[in-house]
Amino acid sequence: MYVQGFVLPVLPGKKDAYIAMAKQAGEMFQRYGALEIVEAFEDDVRDGAHTDFRKAVKAEDGEHIVFSWVVWPDKETCVEAEKQMQANEEMEPSDDMPFAGKRLIYGGFTPIYTLGR
């Protein structure tokens, strides 16, 4: 498997809009081969002494943190999906995005240990 991880700030008052966008994006990711998509809205995000989720994305007052991940069968599927999604007009950024896209952080990860599902 291959995992993409994301941390991003959702703009004030945009939780419902973010959920709607996440559902739409998740369905598209599935069409391109994603096995699992998880979008988690902050519930207990604490301020750290040196760093934390808010500092990582330079969250501003009123913004909320989303931590999410996508599980792919392998890196090749993820890379191919990314190419196809970049060519897809549905993925074009718009002015009414419910999150601060310039402060989103993400990366791809090869699992080194898993337990459970």
Asked if pLDDT for residue 94 goes beyond 90, the answer is no
Q: What is the pLDDT of residues 20-50, one digit of tens each?
A: 999 999 999 999 999 999 999 999 999 999 9
| Segment 55-75 mean pLDDT | 98
**Domain boundary assignment for the chain:** 2-109
- Domain covering 2-109: architecture: 2-Layer Sandwich (3.30)
Q: Which of 29, 18, 109 is nearest to 66 (CA)?
A: 18
Task: Report the percentage of the chain scoring pLDDT > 90.
Answer: 87
Strand partners, 3: 71, 109
- 104, exposed or middle or buried, with CB in 10 Å at 0-12, 13-18, 19+? middle
Instruction: Tell me what pLDDT residue 93 has.
Output: 62
pLDDT band at residue 16 using 50, 70 and 90 as cut-offs: very high
Judge contact between 29 and 72, C-beta under 8 A. Answer: no
Instruction: Tell me what pLDDT residue 41 has.
Output: 98
Asked if pLDDT for residue 100 goes beyond 70, the answer is yes
Asked if pLDDT for residue 56 goes beyond 80, the answer is yes
